[in-house]
């Protein structure tokens, strides 16, 4: 299958991009012969054409994965661990190229892409270490039975990943699936499939058997639905919007699949007056502007204590100054903090929400405009003194737009923080440890970060409460999503001596 030669802007370095579907360790053409264009959000240019998977390609990929599963499931755990460790090594060796591909395809600043790739390598290595440690247990019931459990793989696992963290979501899906003896058919987002396909060259180079990992870019309608509906796929892992997540659950119900969902968020980021101001401002910037705000757990509802009006106003002034120092632009330029929004549709959505804020006469602290006329660049934007029932407070914007909602009592704060359909994450900024634990215990969120934000670690589980999802990524909990428990109970007869 052919490769396309692509060039990274500004640095003017080239690399070879696979353009086929990755099935059975080979890059192949789509059965239909259809292709689709991948464009750059940096300048809206066409990067390349890729083969487009349809339902018939899903069928081939699933059958290939199912055949591979029959032997892969019985591959000794330490051998699976060696392959995953080898993959982690190869990712480390290629980490700069992988980061650049994500920045080219996604528009995110290079420091964000490098952050992602580092976690990818660490997480694959973490999963490798668990291959031979996922045990069952012996159950003592009586002297006439030998009873034990074992954890077994599910089979072929389908994965559908989003465009905001292409390579990171790839790792979060394949890592625990492969460690537990499953095989994978993964559909990356059509907008950002390039790093996933490049990573497939490393899958093959690491020595994974053909069919263990299959990556097939295509549309949600033509490819994604076929994954959800296929009877040989026993588990689906989906990361994306809450609305699409609801559809995923419904489609998977027809064939009774195990489902994990990592969905939307509108996370509260809480600032108390006894916080470390400089550190907190940097945490707020990370919480809402990292990755261009295209983060499901973005701390876009900023609750700031306002009992002391002077302190509140001074804090906002410092926050504004720090935001306006951020460099926005081409991800490959030196010192850029925020790159482009990833898709034209999401870019327009962000601008539409900003317009709602302006039309509603919300107070604008900073930002509020498009940058330039080419590419999808938006100023980091903060509205302040916003009401709890504002559209911008309630709805996920998925871009560099946040709202500041003042509060005066802890009880008022907790009620406001939990007044949401979502429950993915929360941030708490205070020097009072007792206060931090008190609020952590009461906020309805799957992850709570204290005096930090977007602070991930492979051993720390991540996932949501309420309409932010089901199941957990990373940590020991992730392996539960990819295994099932088998009970073996054997009758023990008294032997003849």
Q: What is the pLDDT of residues 124-156, one digit of tens each?
A: 999 999 999 999 999 999 999 999 999 999 999
Q: What pLDDT, in 10s, does the model give residues 50-68?
A: 999 999 999 999 999 999 9
Given this model, what pLDDT does residue 1 score?
57
Give the Cα-Cα-Cα angle 46, 50, 51 (nearest 5 degrees): 150
**What is the arithmetic mean of pLDDT over 301-307?**
97
Spatial neighbors of 94 by CB under 8 A, at least 6 apart, are 198, 202
With 80 as the cut, is the pLDDT of residue 293 above it? yes
Q: Domains in the chain, please, with CATH?
A: 3-263+471-485 (3.40.605.10), 268-457 (3.40.309.10)
Given this model, what pLDDT does residue 286 score?
98
Q: What pLDDT, in 10s, does the model give residues 153-177?
A: 999 999 999 999 999 999 999 999 9
396 assigned to active site: no
**What is the arithmetic mean of pLDDT over 175-201?**
98
Given this model, what pLDDT does residue 2 score?
82
**What is the arithmetic mean of pLDDT over 7-21?**
97
Q: What pLDDT, in 10s, does the model give residues 238-264?
A: 999 999 999 999 999 999 999 999 999
Q: Find out whether 260 and 470 touch, Cβ atoms under 8 Å.
A: yes
With 60 as the cut, is the pLDDT of residue 434 above it? yes
Q: What pLDDT, in 10s, does the model give residues 329-338?
A: 999 999 999 9
**What is the arithmetic mean of pLDDT over 95-118?**
98
Given this model, what pLDDT does residue 415 score?
97
> What's the chain's average pLDDT?
97
Looking at 262, 294, 396, 473, which residue is catalytic? Answer: 262
Q: What is this structure's pTM?
A: 0.96
């Amino acid at each position: 299958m052919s490769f396309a030669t692509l060039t990274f802007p500004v640095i003017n370095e080239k690399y070879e991009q696979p353009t086929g579907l990755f099935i059975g360790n080979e890059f192949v053409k789509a059965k239909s012969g259809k292709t689709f264009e991948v464009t750059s959000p940096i300048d809206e240019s066409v990067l390349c054409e890729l083969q487009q998977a349809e339902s018939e390609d899903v069928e081939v990929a699933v059958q290939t994965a199912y055949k591979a599963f029959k032997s892969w499931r019985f591959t000794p755990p330490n051998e699976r661990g060696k392959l995953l460790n080898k993959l982690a090594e190869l990712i480390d060796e290629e980490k700069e190229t992988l980061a650049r591909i994500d920045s080219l395809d996604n528009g995110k600043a290079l420091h964000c892409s490098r952050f992602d790739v580092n976690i990818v390598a660490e997480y694959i290595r973490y999963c490798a270490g668990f291959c031979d440690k996922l045990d069952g247990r012996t159950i003592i019931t009586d002297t006439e039975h030998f009873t034990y459990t074992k954890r077994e793989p599910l089979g072929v696992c389908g994965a559908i990943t989003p465009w905001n963290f292409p390579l990171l979501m790839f790792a979060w899906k394949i890592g625990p699936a492969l460690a537990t003896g499953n095989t994978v058919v993964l559909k990356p987002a059509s907008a950002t499939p390039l790093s996933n396909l490049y990573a497939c060259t490393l899958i093959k180079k690491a020595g994974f058997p053909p069919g263990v990992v299959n990556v097939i870019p295509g549309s949600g309608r033509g490819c994604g639905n076929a994954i959800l509906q296929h009877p040989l796929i026993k588990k689906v892992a989906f990361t994306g919007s809450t609305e699409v997540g609801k559809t995923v659950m419904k489609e998977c119900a027809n064939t009774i699949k195990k489902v994990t969902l990592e969905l939307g968020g509108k996370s509260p980021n809480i600032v108390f007056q006894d916080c470390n101001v400089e550190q907190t401002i940097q945490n707020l910037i990370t919480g809402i502007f990292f990755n261009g705000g295209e983060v499901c757990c973005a701390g876009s509802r900023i609750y700031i204590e306002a009992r002391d009006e002077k302190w509140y106003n001074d804090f906002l002034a410092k926050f504004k100054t720090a935001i306006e120092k951020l460099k926005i632009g081409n991800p490959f330029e030196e010192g850029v903090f925020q790159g482009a929004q990833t898709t034209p549709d999401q870019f327009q959505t962000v601008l539409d929400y900003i317009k709602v804020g302006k039309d509603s006469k919300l107070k604008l602290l900073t930002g509020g405009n498009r940058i330039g006329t080419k590419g999808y660049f938006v100023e980091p934007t903060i509205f302040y003194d916003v009401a709890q029932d504002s559209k911008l407070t309630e709805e996920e914007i998925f871009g560099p737009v946040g709202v500041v909602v003042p509060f005066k009592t802890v009880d008022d704060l907790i009620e406001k923080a939990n007044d949401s359909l979502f429950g993915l994450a929360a941030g708490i900024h205070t020097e009072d440890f007792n206060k931090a634990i008190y609020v952590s215990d009461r906020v309805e969120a799957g992850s709570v970060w204290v005096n930090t934000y977007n602070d991930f670690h492979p051993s720390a589980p991540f996932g949501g409460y309420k309409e932010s999802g089901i199941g957990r990524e990373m940590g020991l909990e992730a392996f539960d999503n990819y295994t099932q428990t088998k009970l073996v109970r054997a009758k023990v007869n008294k032997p003849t001596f």
